[in-house]
Amino acid sequence: MAEPSRTAGPAVLGVDSGGSGLRLAVAPVAAPRVRPEFRYASDTPVRTGGRGIDAHHLLGQLLPAAEKLRQEAGVPGFAAVCVGAAGMTTLGQELRDVLPQALADAFGVRALALAADAVTGYAGALGQRPGAVVAAGTGLIALGADPGSGAGWRRTDGWGHLLGDCGGGAWIGRAGLEAALRAHDGRPGASPALLRAAEERFGPIGGLPGQLYPRSDRPAVLASFAPCVAREAAADPVAAGIVRRAAEHIADTAAAACPPGPDRTVVLTGGLFRLGEVLRAPVRAKVAARLPDAVCAEPEGDPLDGALRLAAALATDTVRLPVDGALLQLVRHGR
Amino acid sequence: MAEPSRTAGPAVLGVDSGGSGLRLAVAPVAAPRVRPEFRYASDTPVRTGGRGIDAHHLLGQLLPAAEKLRQEAGVPGFAAVCVGAAGMTTLGQELRDVLPQALADAFGVRALALAADAVTGYAGALGQRPGAVVAAGTGLIALGADPGSGAGWRRTDGWGHLLGDCGGGAWIGRAGLEAALRAHDGRPGASPALLRAAEERFGPIGGLPGQLYPRSDRPAVLASFAPCVAREAAADPVAAGIVRRAAEHIADTAAAACPPGPDRTVVLTGGLFRLGEVLRAPVRAKVAARLPDAVCAEPEGDPLDGALRLAAALATDTVRLPVDGALLQLVRHGR
């Protein structure tokens, strides 16, 4: 494997911008994966304003950090760049307007990929192979693709905590709190164990609505109870039922996202799966039942790896993931 | 039946304050029910501020309207008053501080009942008989009582759209929109009929999250889809399943609220039941299955009737509904 150096040939820049901050990495086109020595991370998220994701705030962090990485890697510029960002589809107009020229001026970049974070997540987990990637945290979304087939992205769920995100962290926590309140009221579907757990976490249960509804981060508050539900599932049948239904929803969403055909891979990513085998095992079993021809696998890399892979594919003109101008858009300098 | 007149004996004042405005009625103690000729209604809701329900805003409407009704009824004052208000339990402190003296000064009132709207709803529907009253609109709550037993109110559900209100308008509408989005995604539990209905109502379904999440009245937006779910239930099995599960939840909540014992009556009130027999019939059937000794009945009157009944019971010292200082508080002048 070639190290990025003056003699390693062209290099690419990958960018991952999300709610927890901005991350950058530089790698050779021939070996597009994140190495700690050519990686930069800031915990200052790029601002979102009235014009969407603030391109100038992004560039203020990106340009000096990328220049430092370029010098350390000993490359003259970048053959291509991929920027993956949360909200790219709906909030990325200013990035589309500003980034191509700015990156051309700074690094001689002639090709830029602008991707939703779900797309860099897919590319990091699966590269350009066919299958589906579930991204589960507070919310839940799955993205599927059959690269090279001409078919577009298969985006499934991700509708938010009131309309969907079925099986995600807020969904599990909400169901657990409902079961706790059913125990308080004496209604069916009650879990005295979850009532105890909820009062340990939130205080007397009668005060829970007053704690939850005034907050703007209600989904996160709900999701904060998901680990309690997973823990109680070992001994409490109602909690176990909630985790089982969450696993069914996750498998349903993965199956709907996965394109038909042989040799598909399904990958589970995101913080929700840190709940452990109590959730992962039934999801794998249900995915196997719904998609007998697919394999469940661990992700090969993270979204920053995905950005490097997409940039390298762009540099070598080998992008096969669906380019739809929304989830994934390719921009050549001058156009 | 005595008409309220100079010769009819003492009269009482009932007040019902809620989100849709303020209503007042005057009636004889001996016949406490609303008559159109002794009734006042304003569509200006009483303000809620930093100190809770604004007692002075309430009195600014109440005192002149009650004085007019008093004159029309030809009575010298009111033997007792009952004020039922949405939010009384948590937001009623200023009413408790200000109303007793103000009503004593204006009308010689020596006894005042301050009640949650659910309590005046109960008294209007059932009087002081034992049973449970379900109040269902955007949300859902049931209140049960066994008057004279010494037991308190049995408050069930009413936890809001994220934690409960199971079977209410927001619950039904939310479930319907989830089924619509499942059809869009190709996930199980899908209803193409509800997808069509949702797009008729909200436009292209991909724009629904952007329409819903920024609003502060999300539960009302969700509930606005409940009539569509009820309509589709005639032909669509997924919509029918949602209405069936709503009916189960409503019956569960009524059964948990209803006190044990013979001769209990369960009453369904609130705008949700305007959906019609598609919801009412399965609720009645399921209540009958869960509570074989109880009778499902129509409400005898509305919350304003309930306020008059409570005021008359207070005037004659025959209040038997649970007085707990929260859902129902009695105040004698001077204390």
Under 8 Å CB pairs connecting chains A and B tally to 78
Token representation of residue A199 = 């009062």
Residue of A nearest to B206 (CA): A159
Please report the sign of the dihedral spanned by the C-alpha atoms of residue B61, residue B66, residue B68, residue B69.
positive
Distance between CA atoms of residues B164 and B162, nearest Å:
6
Instruction: Please judge whether B186 and A160 are an interchain contact, meaning their C-beta atoms are less than 8 angstroms apart.
Output: no
pLDDT confidence tier of residue A2, bands split at 50, 70 and 90? very low
Is B196 a residue whose pLDDT tops 90?
Answer: yes
- Whether B11-127+301-332 and B132-297 share one fold: the answer is yes
For domain B11-127+301-332, which CATH number applies: 3.40.30.10, 3.40.50.300, 3.40.50.2020, 3.30.420.40? 3.30.420.40
Question: Which is nearest to A126 in space by CA: A107, A145, A104, A148?
Answer: A145
Provide mean pLDDT across the span A305-330. 96
Which pLDDT value is given to residue A86?
A: 84
Distance between CA atoms of residues A279 and B203, nearest Å:
36
Is A5 a residue whose pLDDT tops 60?
Answer: no
Contacting residues of B for A210, CB less than 8 Å apart: 90
Nearest to A209 among B160, B166, B256 (CB): B160
Is A239 a residue whose pLDDT tops 90?
Answer: yes
Which pLDDT value is given to residue B8?
A: 66
Which pLDDT value is given to residue A1?
A: 43
Give whole-number Cα distances, A96 to A44, A101, A103, A222, in Å. 21, 10, 12, 35
B306-332: pLDDT as tens digits? 999 999 999 999 999 999 988 999 998
Which pLDDT value is given to residue B204?
A: 96
Provide mean pLDDT across the span A191-202. 98
Provide mean pLDDT across the span A155-176. 96
Provide mean pLDDT across the span A13-42. 92
Provide mean pLDDT across the span A264-279. 95
Mean pLDDT of chain A: 93
Mean pLDDT of chain B: 93
How many Å from the N-terminal Cα to the C-terminal Cα in chain A? 34
Residues 6+ apart with CB under 8 A from A36: none
Candidate from A76-90, A156-170, A233-247, B69-83 with smallest mean pLDDT: A76-90
Q: What is the DSSP letter of A5?
A: S
Task: List, in sequence order, every residue forming a beta bridge with A133; answer none if it has no partner.
Answer: A143, A267
Distance between CA atoms of residues A246 and A225, nearest Å:
14
Nearest to B185 among A177, A188, A256 (CB): A256
Which pLDDT value is given to residue A67?
A: 96
A132-297 has which CATH code? 3.30.420.40
A197-229: pLDDT as tens digits? 999 999 999 999 988 988 888 999 999 999 999
Which pLDDT value is given to residue A7?
A: 40
Contacting residues of A for B286, CB less than 8 Å apart: none
Residues 6+ apart with CB under 8 A from B323: B329, B330
Interface of B with A (CB under 8 A): 90, 156-157, 159-160, 162-164, 166, 174, 177-178, 181-182, 185-189, 208-210, 212-213, 218, 222, 252-253, 256
Is B86 a residue whose pLDDT tops 90?
Answer: no
B2-14: pLDDT as tens digits? 444 444 689 999 9
A77-105: pLDDT as tens digits? 999 999 999 888 878 889 999 999 999 99
Most B CBs within 10 Å: which of A141, A157, A163, A291, as the mutation test of the B interface? Answer: A163
A109-161: pLDDT as tens digits? 999 999 999 999 999 999 999 999 999 999 999 999 999 899 999 999 999 99
pLDDT confidence tier of residue B335, bands split at 50, 70 and 90? very low
Which pLDDT value is given to residue A315?
A: 96
Candidate from A25-34, A304-313, B48-57 with smallest mean pLDDT: B48-57
Give whole-number Cα distances, A151 to A120, A259, B227, B266, in Å. 18, 9, 37, 56
Give alpha helix (H) positions in chain A: 55-73, 88-91, 93-107, 117-126, 169-185, 192-202, 208-212, 218-223, 226-232, 237-257, 277-290, 303-315
Which pLDDT value is given to residue B2?
A: 45
User: Of B151 and A333, which is predicted with more confidence?
Assistant: B151
Which pLDDT value is given to residue B1?
A: 43
Instruction: Please judge whether A187 and B159 are an interchain contact, meaning their C-beta atoms are less than 8 angstroms apart.
Output: no
Min Cα separation B299/chain A (Å): 24
Most A CBs within 10 Å: which of B162, B172, B184, B216, as the mutation test of the A interface? Answer: B162
Which pLDDT value is given to residue B216?
A: 85
Nearest to A213 among B160, B185, B253 (CB): B160
Most A CBs within 10 Å: which of B154, B159, B286, as the mutation test of the A interface? Answer: B159
Which pLDDT value is given to residue A8?
A: 65
Token representation of residue A45 = 């998220």
Is B241 a residue whose pLDDT tops 80?
Answer: yes
How many Å from the N-terminal Cα to the C-terminal Cα in chain B? 34
Which pLDDT value is given to residue B332?
A: 85
Distance between CA atoms of residues A54 and A47, nearest Å:
6
Is B200 a residue whose pLDDT tops 60?
Answer: yes
Domain ranges of chain A: 11-127+301-332, 132-297
Is A283 a residue whose pLDDT tops 90?
Answer: yes
